[in-house]
Amino acid sequence: MTDKKLKKYLDGIYKHYRKKHSSKDPIWTLHRLDDPRDIELLGFIISCYSYGQVNVINAFIERLLKITGSNIYEFTVNFSKSKDKKHLQGMYYRFHTGAHLIALIEILKKAVIKHGSLNNLFLSHYNESDENIVNGLAGFTRELKSPLKAKESFKHFIPEPVTNSACKRLNLYLRWMVRKDEIDLGVWQGIKRSKLIIPLDIHVHRNALKLNLIQRRSPDLKFAVALTSKLKQFDPRDPVKYDFALCHTGIDKAIL
């Protein structure tokens, strides 16, 4: 298939999918909020827990919101471990415990109090002259994790690009925050859509290989960067919009 036909195919899926997006996707919880401060904080927490079955993720987030209320910004900046930990200790999700959630709330509190927002924290490590957001993401994750003691379980919670991890959930979070359409919220300022990296999961990886978009096979950060560069040939300003086409649909054998 020529690049021209492939672009037309992927554009068609995107235009259809963005209007038919599954109501079960955790991102729709964010659409219930109005304050960008609440959206960016809850969005980050959701992205950290975005592994496993969607219905289990959603149930966990609903349990959290019953504790925090919809004003999660106020809950976070006023969080007191001695006073509030009892509410979160029973919040288990797969191999993460209430202690992990408490630590996550604490590091988000430190970040927001210091920088005013997660957007500002990211911008403090981001250079718009960079080819993409990788360096900004590296600084963002490094500063977020700096208050923590080295815990093996937190490596999965907040991965780092310096390890060549594809950082799928973090790149998904950035997509939510930076892009704006019927699905993504676009509440962050100062970062261009063209700088984003595609969130690389097993579906995107498999379909990218099926479509011969990229020759590299290891599902790592280098793969995600190379795939994003290829997708920029189809839309230089918004390559990550093709995440919808590559992730949420099967590839028709007739086009291969």
Q: pLDDT tens digits for 119-157? A: 999 999 999 999 999 999 999 999 998 877 656 566 677
Question: For 22-32, what is the mean pLDDT?
Answer: 85
Q: How confident is the model at residue 24 (pLDDT cuts 50, 70, 90)?
A: confident
Distance CA 231, CA 225 (A): 10
**pTM of the model as a whole:** 0.94
Question: For 202-219, what is the mean pLDDT?
Answer: 92
CA 199 to chain CA centroid, nearest Å: 7
Q: pLDDT tens digits for 69-120? A: 999 999 999 999 999 999 999 899 888 889 999 999 999 999 999 999 999 9
